[in-house]
């Protein structure tokens, strides 16, 4: 099965505002900008039933907090207010009271209008021992072997893989590979093609690694699950999945 999809909000490439750097220029090496996330405002927008609120799971907002503070925010046509920003080391969360589950959300600023559908929490992983990771262009036979290892050695019976924009095969091939692993009751691949973050710095090496933490936080989708193992795969690096 694969019926999960992210509903991101991304700022226009040719406009402002953009996320400022989190690492000072004197520590950034050549190529740092290539994988820095200047434009993702939110990886996903989720309606959380228990809190009766919309949750925006974001990279570190930094100066982009002003987007939420200045925008007129509407959900299915109803104006929302009373937002709250929770700040963490490598990601942020914006919570906005919303008593009923909306279909979509719009952030209107003077110069731009940003729109996204709203995700809902799912119970497909309830009670499962879930293997969760991120990957890009790792070889499919190797992924199959890796999944099989955790099924046999850690009793994993479900798997969730965020695909960080693979170019060597379509998402459907990853999904099919996951579904052929014996012992997995649930197998879900999710497209998540966002900037990975740069390690090209002399200090504050991992400060721009927003993506990894953001994807792990998106397990908010899935309640009552035990994580059998979670791992971070650098782009085109098979070994880091282990």
Domain ranges in the chain? 9-120, 129-241
Q: What are the structure tokens assigned to 74, written together?
A: 């509407």
Q: Compute the mean pLDDT over every residue in the chain, rounded to the nearest whole number.
A: 89
Would the pTM of this model clear 0.75, i.e. be above it? Answer: yes
Within 13 Å of residue 78, how many CA atoms lie on the same side as its CB?
A: 13
Region 185-206 average pLDDT = 93
- Per-residue pLDDT, 1: 58
Which numeric CATH code is attached to 9-120? 2.60.40
Q: What are the structure tokens assigned to 230, written together?
A: 């979670």
Is pLDDT at 99 greater than 80 in this prediction? yes
Region 47-62 average pLDDT = 95
Distance CA 128, CA 133 (A): 15
The more confidently predicted of residues 199 and 75 is: 75
- Per-residue pLDDT, 82: 80
The more confidently predicted of residues 113 and 234 is: 113
Return the percentage of the chain with pLDDT > 90, whole number.
Answer: 76
Region 2-15 average pLDDT = 87
Distance CA 152, CA 142 (A): 15
- Per-residue pLDDT, 46: 94
- Per-residue pLDDT, 228: 54
Is pLDDT at 235 greater than 60 in this prediction? no
Return the percentage of the chain with pLDDT > 70, whole number.
Answer: 89
- From the options 2.40.30, 2.40.160, 1.20.1050, 3.40.50, give the CATH code of 129-241: 3.40.50
Per the CB < 8 A criterion, the answer to whether 122 and 195 are in contact is: no
| Phi, psi (rounded to 5 degrees) for 197 | 100, 150
- Per-residue pLDDT, 236: 36
Region 220-233 average pLDDT = 49
- Per-residue pLDDT, 16: 80
Is pLDDT at 172 greater than 90 in this prediction? yes
- Per-residue pLDDT, 2: 61
Q: Which of 224, 225, 231 is nearest to 130 (CA)?
A: 225
Query: Within its chain, how far is the Cα of 205 from the centroid?
Result: 20
Place of tokens 């900008």: 33
User: What does R_g of the chain's alpha carbons equal in angstroms?
Assistant: 18
Place of tokens 């927003």: 210
| CATH topology identical between 9-120 and 129-241 | no
Per the CB < 8 A criterion, the answer to whether 60 and 210 are in contact is: yes
Number of H helices, E strands in the chain: 4, 15
Q: Which residues are paired to 73 by β-bridges?
A: 80, 107
């Amino acid at each position: 099965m694969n019926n999960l999809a992210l509903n991101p909000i991304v700022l226009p490439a040719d406009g402002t505002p953009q996320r400022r750097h989190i690492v000072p220029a004197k520590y950034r090496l050549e190529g740092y900008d290539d994988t820095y996330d200047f434009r993702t405002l939110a990886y996903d927008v989720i309606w959380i039933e228990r809190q009766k609120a919309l949750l925006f799971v974001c990279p570190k907002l930094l100066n982009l907090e002003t987007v939420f503070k200045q925008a007129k925010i509407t959900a299915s046509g109803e104006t929302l207010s009373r937002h709250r920003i929770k700040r963490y080391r490598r990601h942020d969360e914006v919570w906005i009271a919303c008593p009923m589950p909306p279909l979509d959300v719009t952030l209107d600023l003077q110069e731009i209008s940003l729109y996204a559908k709203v995700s809902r929490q799912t119970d497909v992983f309830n009670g499962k021992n879930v293997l969760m990771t991120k990957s890009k262009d790792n070889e499919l036979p190797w992924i199959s072997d890796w999944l099989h290892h955790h099924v046999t050695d850690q009793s994993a019976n479900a798997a969730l893989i965020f695909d960080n924009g693979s170019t060597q095969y379509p998402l459907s091939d990853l999904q099919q590979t996951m579904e052929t692993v014996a012992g997995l009751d649930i197998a879900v691949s999710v497209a998540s093609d966002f900037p990975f973050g740069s390690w090209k710095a002399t200090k504050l090496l991992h400060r721009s690694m927003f993506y990894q933490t953001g994807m792990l936080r998106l397990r908010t989708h899935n309640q009552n699950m035990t994580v059998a193992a979670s791992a971070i795969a650098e782009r085109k690096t098979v070994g880091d999945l282990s």
